[in-house]
Chains A and B, each alone.
Chain A
Amino acid sequence: MRTRPLAGLAFAALVAAVGLSWAMPRLSPPPDIPFLDTPPPADAAARTESAGLCPWRTPEADCRRFFPQATGWTDETLVFTRQRDALKARLGRAPTSEENILTVHRVRRGTEIAGAIVTRRVRGENGAIELVLAVNANGAAAGAKLQRLREPEAASAFLQGQSFLGAFAGRTADSPWRPGQDFPPLPEAGRVSALAILDAAHATLILLSVAKEAHLHPLSIQEGGRVER
């Protein structure tokens, strides 16, 4: 019995044609009309409420700003579950749930560690404030900036001013953090937010200090990125 090779191809074409003619009516697109909104999925209520970790919005620019010789960074996740007692003693209060895990961006200069950058979301008076704190290799603050805030003009000007943010440089976990003495006097407008920023920055340095003393191993280490020159 002889077969013709074209028979297979003819069969495939036939099946495809039948399939397409069957499918085409099911594929005709509906009209393009604007969409407004949808009701919720059934499991919505069961989802946990969380603001998520504070993002680092401009990593390259921040590396250049605080560590001019930086070549890149890696992201470390530190978990402080076993250091709660030490943290409580150093902080003078119970650590918050956000302080249980810290993402530390280790900034590299070639093969050396130049320092670290940590971002924290702070409860400002009129909305969330995102703090970027740069820490040098010795554990002292190298600088700070606010990558996002929602404060009225007067408060915003003070909080982002050099007199306030500039005073962070050189502060350590064990330094005094007194407004009016170690930091400029806080104006009424922005006082609540400024105190929240000071507390978050101080707590961050304490967390890093505790991690260093406890030789805490990161839960994970990931390549962050390079600083382009």
Chain B
Amino acid sequence: MIALAFRNLTRRRLRTGLTLAGVASAVSVLACLLAFGQGYRQGLSRELEGMGRQMMLVPLGCPYDAAARVLKGRTLDVSLPASALATARGDKAVAIAAPLLMAALPRPAQGRTDLWVGIDAAVRPLKPWWKMQPGSRWFPDGDSVMLGAEAAATELRQVGDSFYSPEANRKFRVCAILERSGTSDDSQFFVPLATAQAMFHQPGRLTAIAIRLRDPALAMEAAPRLQAIPGAQIVTLAEMMGTFLNLVGAVRTLVLAVAILAVTISGLSVFNTMLAGALERTGELGVMRAVGASRMQVFGLLLGESLCLTLIGSALGILLALALGRFVEGAVRPFTPLAPSQSLLALTGGILAQCLGVGVGVGALAGLYPAWQASRLQPTLALREQKI
């Protein structure tokens, strides 16, 4: 039966080839998309775990309002008191609590926005990717500034140079320059926490506290205690990851809709091919019925052809995805926000099996109607219509 199905498919090679190409394209798009989603999720998960922090303590209130205020250079109405840091550091589950005070000073006329971040030494273990340029050293005094690589390049600064903030009317000495890391750190100016608090008139206040736990498993136990700090809320690693995924979610939805459309069109193509094949072979199928083939055998023959077609097409699509996946990744990566450094494509066995299943499922659905029509043929009517 399978041999017969294959032979029937090879009768119209061009039509079969085009149908196969359609199925293969649709399945390869689907495979790449699913692999991209999984790879992105896995990569983010790995990198977030590598960040060395399990949660952030931030002020209560709408985080988007806070972000907008910082971007417009306004003072935050909400911030954390320094006592929150003491409480966090005193918690038995907390290994490191690193305070941050962030402020953006926009100068639209000069086309720049200075991003100042007040930190203390506790932040260093939480930034394992920080590498300093030769000659750099940690803040020797309150008038020292550490520049991100891009900030230093834009301002033409080297270690030991003077650096002035017109907004704060304060002169600094560049004590360190970070190597380029590809993160937001590259364009920021880091100063001692107390200096930042003085510059932005936020004495004893913090924008956020980054927390590393002694054991990540203690997150559920520690969260309620830290959440109890007045005016503070906890953002966990899982929630942070959710936000990352949210950023690519809309694009992914759109592309997945396109992939579903492509699969649907490829299914229609199979449907059309099978129906046309059945119509062309009305006389032949009539003869088969006349010499004793049952309805079920005719139905099985047509359905088998459809399944063969989509199985081969799906296999070709998977090979195409495996071959072109890296190129697709190269094209997609520049447009992916916060792309993890690891491969974005995770073409796992599960995903390949899913795609094969979808392809074959579409083939089965596409073959049902033509097979059913063919199985209902009356031999005498079929032979008369085809003038055999």
Assembly CA distance A124 to B149 (angstroms) = 18
Find chain B residues with CB under 8 A from A55 CB. Answer: 111
1/0 per residue B140-169: CB within 8 Å of A? 000000000100011111000011111001
Most buried by B among A14, A36, A124, A156: A36
Find chain A residues with CB under 8 A from B50 CB. Answer: 39
A40 with B240, Cβ < 8 A, contacts A19-B264, A33-B235, A128-B156 known:
no
Q: Does B249 contact A (CB under 8 A)?
A: yes
Stretch of B9-17, B78-86, B192-200, B358-366 that contacts chain A? B358-366
B238-262 interface (Cβ within 8 A of A) = 239-247, 249, 252-253, 256, 260-261
Nearest-CB residue, chain B, relative to A20: B260
Tally of A interface residues using CB under 8 Å: 55
Q: Are A152 and B163 in contact (CB under 8 A)?
A: no
A18-38 interface (Cβ within 8 A of B) = 18-20, 22-23, 26-27, 29-38
- In-complex Cβ contact of B256 among A23, A33, A52 (8 A): A23
CB proximity of B122 to chain A, nearest CB, Å:
15
Find chain A residues with CB under 8 A from B263 CB. Answer: 15, 19
Q: Are B166 and A156 in contact (CB under 8 A)?
A: yes
Q: Does A150 contact B (CB under 8 A)?
A: yes
CB proximity of B319 to chain A, nearest CB, Å:
22
Q: Are A127 and B163 in contact (CB under 8 A)?
A: yes
Find chain A residues with CB under 8 A from B171 CB. Answer: 126, 152
Assembly CA distance A222 to B87 (angstroms) = 60
Find chain B residues with CB under 8 A from A30 CB. Answer: 241-243, 245-246, 249
- In-complex Cβ contact of B240 among A36, A44, A57 (8 A): A36
Find chain A residues with CB under 8 A from B110 CB. Answer: 57, 147-148
Most buried by A among B131, B171, B239: B239
- In-complex Cβ contact of A39 among B111, B164, B183, B271 (8 A): B183
Stretch of B88-96, B174-182, B221-229 that contacts chain A? B174-182
Find chain B residues with CB under 8 A from A36 CB. Answer: 56, 208, 210, 235, 240
Find chain A residues with CB under 8 A from B338 CB. Answer: 35, 38
Q: Are A42 and B366 in contact (CB under 8 A)?
A: no
Q: Does B341 contact A (CB under 8 A)?
A: yes
- In-complex Cβ contact of A14 among B180, B210, B365 (8 A): B365
Assembly CA distance A41 to B185 (angstroms) = 13
Assembly CA distance A99 to B168 (angstroms) = 34
- In-complex Cβ contact of A8 among B47, B244, B268 (8 A): B268
Q: Are B37 and A26 in contact (CB under 8 A)?
A: yes
- In-complex Cβ contact of B47 among A38, A45, A51, A147 (8 A): A38
Assembly CA distance A29 to B250 (angstroms) = 9
CB proximity of B193 to chain A, nearest CB, Å:
17
Find chain B residues with CB under 8 A from A52 CB. Answer: 153-154
Assembly CA distance A16 to B179 (angstroms) = 50
Find chain A residues with CB under 8 A from B179 CB. Answer: 44-45
Q: Does B382 contact A (CB under 8 A)?
A: yes
Q: Does A50 contact B (CB under 8 A)?
A: yes
The 6 closest A-B pairs by CB, nearest first: A30-B242, A34-B63, A126-B164, A42-B341, A40-B181, A44-B182
Q: Which B residues are closer than 8 A to A by beta carbons?
A: 37, 47, 50-51, 56, 58, 63-64, 66-67, 110-112, 128-129, 131, 149, 153-157, 162-166, 169, 171, 179-185, 208, 210, 235, 239-247, 249, 252-253, 256, 260-261, 263-264, 267-268, 271-272, 275, 278-279, 282, 338-342, 358, 361-362, 365-366, 369, 373-374, 377, 382, 385
Q: Which A residues are closer than 8 A to B by beta carbons?
A: 1, 3, 7-8, 11-12, 14-16, 18-20, 22-23, 26-27, 29-45, 47, 49-52, 55, 57, 121-128, 147-148, 150-153, 156
* 20 intermolecular pairs with C-beta atoms under 8 Å apart: A1-B373, A1-B374, A8-B272, A11-B271, A15-B267, A27-B252, A31-B239, A32-B242, A33-B239, A34-B67, A35-B338, A38-B183, A39-B51, A40-B181, A52-B154, A57-B111, A121-B156, A126-B162, A152-B171, A153-B169
